[in-house]
Structure 1
Amino acid sequence: MVELIPIRLQKTWEIWNVRGVILFSLSLQIVLFLGAPMRKRTGNKLSIMIIWGSYFLADWTASFTIGLITNSRNSSKIIERSDHLLAFWAPFLLLHLGGPDTITAFALEDNELWLRHFFTLIVQVVASFYVFLETLPSNKLWLPTSLIFLAGVIKYTERTRSLYRASWGTFRETMLTEPDPGPEYAKLMEAFSSKKVAGLPTTMSQTVDDDIKAWKSAFYSIQPSDQNKVLDEFEVVKYGYHFFKIFKGLVVDLISHKDRNESRVFFHERTPEDALEVLEVELNFIYEVLYTKFVVMHDLKGYLLRFLSLVSVLVSLGIFFFLDCKHGLDKFDIRVTYTLLLGALSLEAIALFKLMIFSDWTTAFLGKRNTNPTVRAIFKKYLKIRRPRWSPPKGKLSAGTESRITSVLLRRWSESVAGFNLITYCLKDLPKKSNECCLGISKTTTHLLHSIRRYCRKVVVDRLGAKDFLDELKYASKNSFTKELWKLIFRELLRKSKEADKPENIKMISSARGAYVLGELMDDPLMVTADYETVYETLKKDYIENVTYDESLLLWHIATELCYGREDSDPETVAQKVAKYRRLSKLLSDYMLYLLVMKSAMMSAVAGIGQIRYRDTCAEAKRFFRYKELEPNKVNDACENLLAVNTDVKPVHVKGDKSKSVLFDACMLAKELQKLEEKKWKVISKVWVEMLSYASNHCRPDAHVQQVSRGGQLINLVWLLMAHFGLIEQFVYTAGVGPAKLIVKK
């Protein structure tokens, strides 16, 4: 009989299977420990894929290795002393199953599997303990084995508790207040009836609750602002933690209302830069609560268990090193054991050091107390190193702007703004023209090659579902997060927050997607002339109010690109203020389309048939560019050709409504915007901010939280900022009355 696997290879596997796989398991733990924090700091696809692969392989490898150890012990080829060593290795797999502190869940859904992990914990503990029991009483390594077993149980229990506390139901349960049954209705009505029967003049009066009235008055009042007060490093973390405790209910769509006025007043008094830093810290706390072990470790019990785990590993290493229990063991097996012990000790020591020192939780804890001046000075230096940095970017076209340049190891999110441009994509996605004359290839052969390439892409790439992934890698851009962009967003929301003095105003602002800001501009004498008033009305009615959000977004994206592409971008020929709004409009336009196309899960609540509309628009654009024989890098020519199309008749009257393409409707919008001359860029930028605000407010909370674990997005910061400014519908209060009182007149 022919052996499919050579005998030598089989023997090699029998000898090295346990050793190789357990070292591989340790390697995965190191990769996760060092690499997992990177996923909140970068949106890089390759980094996230490596972490994803390591995360799923880690559990499988650890469980598989325990099975190999159990099987190897039943082999007659294993001598007794090796039996003892294998029993010593088994508890290390519990340490590995417990995972590093930096990651407990890869996605939000993993937290819901806490019960499965709890069951796995029981099974693996029983399996490891069974392997250990079979070696007694002759096992000289029983003490170090017991200590590693204790450390492994602690680590895996920590992970299971973290998953349980971050699960949707448990997390939501912690947000709920004590039930309030209100006044005793039956008892009050019984008294009311008895007074009526007795013939006494009795009425029921529902009085105004003074506390509620004062609460509402304070919330809707505008406090004087002190914009010169700058937060130091400790205050940034302290306030970030404070508002995280208050607003973490946003994650499960439950908000604590008692401190809403404090948040609103605080952010009214902050500079845009300080407000951004506080929001970044708050976002980091949300990430760590849902995806790491930090929440279960930052209490007295957590510190004690972690210290016990570290001491157990350290003592086990000392016993193995000093006691004469290694005689007769294979030298390589001894090296493997030392590698496991030193690896476990290093990971435990670094984790404890990071837990005690390099943690926002520890900083927030110290910020609430009178800390020793020396300790505070040490932490201040560390926080100063970690504090985000701005720097003027290089390049003539970006003159006057500042971008984030924080080191990737110190960031709390990706600090970048992604972009995706429809016209650029359609031009680059056209079939490349070949030089048939130079290559000696006929047009028929070239066409055949193009057909084969398109067919392979459709069959292989599209059917595997990899088209969107590859398009994002190839066509999505990564732009710097600029200070002027954040200032524009912050000041727009700050101004609207001051206008949110009534519940109906909050509802109007939170649901606005461009029309509200256009209405404000129509009331601004500096922005409106007799000629402009009609244009504003057209923009508001035809391109925002009477179309769906996804259609409006596509219309304004293409129109922004058409206006941008045909203008000179040299700062010397464009007024500085106009150039700023022009840059920001382009940045926000590309970012919003990126969210619609590449992050459709985030935009699902507002996108409607956005994907269908986008695909139809791309198809029409590609057909038009092929007809005009445009080159992939000729974006300005594409814009000029599109604007040159006669749009006197609306496209729907020519094509019908079967196709959802908005390409030439966007050309009509661009021509309307051109009528505003240099004022158009201010209008466009403000409309984009309002569209971004609408999307952030109507995106599902779990979608925001998912994105936090993949580098974070600008839309996540806007979501938190709107909550702090009170611009979300959960803060609309109509209640202003207290409990009823029974009044008996004399």
Structure 2
Amino acid sequence: MASLAAPISNKVKKIWDDWNLRSFIILSLSLQTFLILFAPLRKRTSSKWLIVPIWLAYLLADWSANFAIGLIASSQTNTDQGSPENGNLLAFWAPFLLLHLGGPDTIIAIAMEDNALWPRHLLGLIFQVVAAAYVFGMQFSNQNKLLWPTLLLFVPALVKYGERTRALYLASLESLKETILAVPEPGPDYAKYMDEYSSRKAAHLPIKIEIEEGRSSDSKNVTYRLGEGDVIDNITLVEGAHHLFQISMGLIIDLVFDYHQRKESRAYFIKLESGDAFTSIATELNFMYEALYTKAYVVHSKRGYLLRATSFIAVCIAFVFFYRIEKHGFHSFDVGITYSLLFGAIALDSVALSMLILSDWTIAIVYKFCKKSRAVTDLMKKYLEFKRSWGPTTTPKCLERTRKILFRRWCESISGFSFIDYSLRECGRSVRLRPGDRFGLVYLYHRFIRFLGHRYLQIIRFFGLKYLRDEMKYRSSKRLEEILWKFIFEELESKSEVVDDPKIGREICSSQGDWVLLKKYEKHPEYKNLLACFVDVTYDRRVLLWHIATEICYYSVDTGTGGDNRKYSKTLSDYMLYLLIMQPALMSSVAGIGQKRFRDTVAEANKFFKKRGLGSDVKLGEGKLREACCKLLDVDTGVKPVDVKGNRSKSVLFDACILARQLMKFEDKKKWELISSVWVELLSYAASHCRAHSHAQLLTKGGELVTFVWLLMARFGIEEDIQVLEVQARVKLIMNKQPDDFKNNWRTD
């Protein structure tokens, strides 16, 4: 039998052998450059078009560097590797790959779960260092012209890889618990006290017991407060956020503020305006993001600064060494790759240094030592003003674009998802053909387009991409307006004034819209009917019910003036439905069967709109949405939907129509005040009951308004588990008539 031909020709093998290592070296350097430049954008955008490439680059970066080190190690045992100079050059490349495995300062983890894998990175550090040392040992000789520069490069390589492993460890939940949990407090020595008490009582000595209340040792940690005459500026906000951030990290491991932390936080925030409070929270969340997903914790320390300076100097000296040596025997292309690696290492360290200088961490640290320097403080104030979300309106467009790309702390936008718009566009375009076109080209064309649409949906459902397609197609995004944040801030601030009573605090935190109805609209004729929408109604049902009712009221003919509350209601309504449907990981603890309820409601809406010829494949205008809402209001709802359909279907479409009719009986201004207040309560309930871990994860996707509300509620002390004042007793044993042996009172603290 004739032998089978090799599937890969010798020519292809030759190309692979010549270019495999060089290709992966270039790929590794390119990925490092991409990550250090674009990874910070994760906290500034929620766009999938940017987050997915960063995710791919993060995964490929480690793989390409590990693979390249393996190729270099295997080449050392290959007798056909070329000249000795070529082997020396390959050994010189090995520490560069270790440097790449250390990763850029801007990203150490994609998700919180990556931090828990720090033992894997530690093992990777050990094995890759051994492989690189093996490569270096194979080329260790006096004839190696690159001996000393290779040794120098091992210093920054070990520093960078060690920094990454330690940063992952410090950001893991186990390390956070060890760091944040308070020192165990055994209290006074009870056994010693009782022994003394018993001995004196047995001696029939007259004893008097006095108990004094003392402050807990934790109360001494209350160090950051604003005085009456203190000026609140951008530097003060950064300094305060840096202090409070160290307390807020406890929320990640599900701790609650103790009495003194809560008191300190409230005393600080109660003096801030809404815009300043937003800047403080944005800065605090920025600290939190960098502590969990970057090397900030490791770099921003005296040891970190020293190691970073040492690494940069070592790379520069290695570059001088390589520049000055005789390069006879080296391949010119390999020399070019080596220069690229050296220039790349210097450039990446320079970029990291500039980010280090411009970070909020540096501002908070430098300000402690430069408070008296007017020039430094003025410069920092101008720079921080540039980072504010709502800066001066006179900023040139080019500077505003630069700020959004490079300096803003979060995406500064709020997402939205409209049920009516989604239902109309998903049910498709209704085509009305004339009798003569029944078998003509127009009919065949529309049949063909509809067939392609069905096949397209079947394919994306098969691959599980329907959710991603809906998010990219139907999610809207608009800038978060300052007046909306001010409205949310004032609503929560008013509630913070009454949360000192634990019972009221629990009522406010557990309220899902019924608290504002009870406090402000108890005497309204529709109060009992509206209250029925809250009794025995799950959170996901309330959100969907009030969202559809809000849209019907918003697009109804009788919109009236409504004022700003009408805009607030629509924005928050769309945002809460977006969280419920498109952020299931965040809302899993409160969503219930929200996904099923939403799908059943969409199915009923599609059936309703198709029969009335209201479907459309394109983006809808307000006129089309108003027509759809009017059609819904035209339906007679004299009988409750559950009495007609039963409870197998979880649809709330016509229950929402009933709610909308009840809301329309309110005076227009009061109606929108009620709806907007209900949405703030629904938002705050989600913020306080979603897992802190999920809030931290959202920081890698541009951040969400619900996370800002979560931290604002914590700062105002609005929480279900309110701790009372911690008191440490001081006990005195005093004898009325003391013998000479006991001249001093005995005290235990």
- Could you state the TM-score of these two structures normalised by the residue count of structure 1? 0.90
Residue 124 of structure 2 corresponds to 120
Taking the TM superposition and a 5 Å limit, the aligned residue runs for 1:395-406 are none
Residue 338 of structure 1 corresponds to 339
Q: Deviation digits for residues 410-433 of structure 1, max 9, x if unmatched?
A: 110000000001111011111334
Measure the CA separation in 2 of the matches of 1:266 and 1:643. Answer: 48
Q: Deviation digits for residues 270-308 of structure 1, max 9, x if unmatched?
A: 110111101110000000000000110111110010001
Taking the TM superposition and a 5 Å limit, the aligned residue runs for 1:250-399 are 250-257=251-258, 258-324=260-326, 326-355=327-356, 357-371=357-371, 372-390=373-391
- Report which stretch shifted further, 188-197 or 599-608: 188-197
Q: CA deviation at 1:694?
A: 0.6
Residue 50 of structure 1 corresponds to 53
Kept in 1: contact 2:212–2:731 (CA 8 A): no
What is the letter of the counterpart of residue 462 of structure 2? R
Taking the TM superposition and a 5 Å limit, the aligned residue runs for 1:634-673 are 634-673=624-663
Q: Deviation digits for residues 464-500 of structure 1, max 9, x if unmatched?
A: 2211111000000001100111011000011001122
Gaps of 5+ in 2: 395-399, 738-749
Kept in 2: contact 1:388–1:406 (CA 8 A): no
The 3 A distance-change label for structure 1 pair 733 and 304 is same
1:416 matches 2:413: yes
- Report which stretch shifted further, 190-199 or 560-569: 190-199
Kept in 1: contact 2:44–2:702 (CA 8 A): yes
**Identical pairs, percent:** 45
1:630 matches 2:632: no
Q: CA deviation at 1:535?
A: 1.2
3-state DSSP class of the match of 1:2? coil
Residue 546 of structure 2 corresponds to 556
Taking the TM superposition and a 5 Å limit, the aligned residue runs for 1:75-474 are 75=78, 76-137=80-141, 138-188=143-193, 209=213, 211=215, 231-257=232-258, 258-324=260-326, 326-355=327-356, 357-371=357-371, 372-390=373-391, 407-434=404-431, 437=437, 440-441=440-441, 450=450, 453-458=453-458, 460-474=459-473
Q: CA deviation at 1:643?
A: 1.0
Gaps of 5+ in 1: 394-402
Q: Deviation digits for residues 608-652 of structure 1, max 9, x if unmatched?
A: 111111111111111111122213332111101111111111111
Q: CA deviation at 1:730?
A: 3.6
Measure the CA separation in 1 of the matches of 2:105 and 2:625. Answer: 48
What is the letter of the counterpart of residue 374 of structure 1? A
1:728 matches 2:728: no
Residue 399 of structure 1 corresponds to none
Measure the CA separation in 2 of the matches of 1:443 and 1:230. Answer: 72
3-state DSSP class of the match of 1:534? coil
- Report which stretch shifted further, 228-237 or 116-125: 228-237
Q: CA deviation at 1:434?
A: 4.9
Residue 742 of structure 2 corresponds to none
3-state DSSP class of the match of 1:150? helix
What is the letter of the counterpart of residue 462 of structure 1? R
Measure the CA separation in 1 of the matches of 2:227 and 2:547. Answer: 36
3-state DSSP class of the match of 1:209? strand
Q: Deviation digits for residues 110-143 of structure 1, max 9, x if unmatched?
A: 0000000000000000001100110121311011
Residue 588 of structure 1 corresponds to 572
- Report which stretch shifted further, 187-196 or 29-38: 187-196
Measure the CA separation in 1 of the matches of 2:198 and 2:714. Answer: 46
Residue 397 of structure 1 corresponds to none
What is the letter of the counterpart of residue 348 of structure 1? D
The 3 A distance-change label for structure 1 pair 688 and 282 is same
Measure the CA separation in 2 of the matches of 1:392 and 1:674. Answer: 38
- Report which stretch shifted further, 381-390 or 334-343: 381-390
The 3 A distance-change label for structure 1 pair 147 and 404 is closer
Q: CA deviation at 1:386?
A: 2.8
1:23 matches 2:26: yes
Q: Deviation digits for residues 46-98 of structure 1, max 9, x if unmatched?
A: 10001000000000000011111122333314221111100101111001000
Measure the CA separation in 2 of the matches of 1:343 and 1:318. Answer: 14
Q: Deviation digits for residues 351-407 of structure 1, max 9, x if unmatched?
A: 12322x2111110012223444333333333223333335779xxxxxxxxx99952
Q: What is the aligned residue count? A: 713
Taking the TM superposition and a 5 Å limit, the aligned residue runs for 1:30-45 are 30-45=33-48
Residue 486 of structure 1 corresponds to 485
Q: CA deviation at 1:456?
A: 4.8
1:680 matches 2:668: no
Q: CA deviation at 1:350?
A: 2.1
Kept in 2: contact 1:389–1:405 (CA 8 A): no
Measure the CA separation in 2 of the matches of 1:687 and 1:40. Answer: 29
The 3 A distance-change label for structure 1 pair 535 and 656 is same
Kept in 2: contact 1:166–1:289 (CA 8 A): yes
Residue 610 of structure 1 corresponds to 594
Q: CA deviation at 1:435?
A: 7.0
Q: CA deviation at 1:11?
A: 1.1
Q: CA deviation at 1:333?
A: 0.8
The 3 A distance-change label for structure 1 pair 406 and 641 is farther
What is the letter of the counterpart of residue 476 of structure 1? R
What is the letter of the counterpart of residue 560 of structure 1? T
The 3 A distance-change label for structure 1 pair 80 and 605 is same
Measure the CA separation in 1 of the matches of 2:231 and 2:647. Answer: 55
What is the letter of the counterpart of residue 102 of structure 1? T
Measure the CA separation in 2 of the matches of 1:439 and 1:128. Answer: 73
Q: CA deviation at 1:518?
A: 1.3
Q: Deviation digits for residues 242-293 of structure 1, max 9, x if unmatched?
A: 1112222111112453332121022111110111101110000000000000
Measure the CA separation in 2 of the matches of 1:422 and 1:167. Answer: 39
What is the letter of the counterpart of residue 45 of structure 1? K
What is the letter of the counterpart of residue 74 of structure 1? T
- Report which stretch shifted further, 370-379 or 697-706: 370-379
What is the letter of the counterpart of residue 152 of structure 2? L
What is the letter of the counterpart of residue 274 of structure 1? D
The one of 677, 684, 696 equivalent to 1:693 is 684
What is the letter of the counterpart of residue 104 of structure 2? P
The 3 A distance-change label for structure 1 pair 329 and 407 is same
Residue 563 of structure 2 corresponds to 579
The 3 A distance-change label for structure 1 pair 15 and 603 is same
The 3 A distance-change label for structure 1 pair 497 and 213 is farther
- Could you state the TM-score of these two structures normalised by the residue count of structure 2? 0.89
The 3 A distance-change label for structure 1 pair 327 and 377 is farther
Kept in 2: contact 1:507–1:732 (CA 8 A): no
Measure the CA separation in 1 of the matches of 2:457 and 2:255. Answer: 45
Q: CA deviation at 1:148?
A: 1.2
3-state DSSP class of the match of 1:418? strand
Kept in 1: contact 2:553–2:660 (CA 8 A): yes
What is the letter of the counterpart of residue 544 of structure 1? F
Kept in 2: contact 1:161–1:296 (CA 8 A): yes
Residue 716 of structure 1 corresponds to 707
The 3 A distance-change label for structure 1 pair 651 and 197 is farther
Q: CA deviation at 1:739?
A: 7.0
Kept in 1: contact 2:390–2:482 (CA 8 A): no
What is the letter of the counterpart of residue 50 of structure 1? P
Kept in 1: contact 2:145–2:325 (CA 8 A): no
Kept in 2: contact 1:287–1:709 (CA 8 A): yes
Kept in 1: contact 2:412–2:479 (CA 8 A): yes
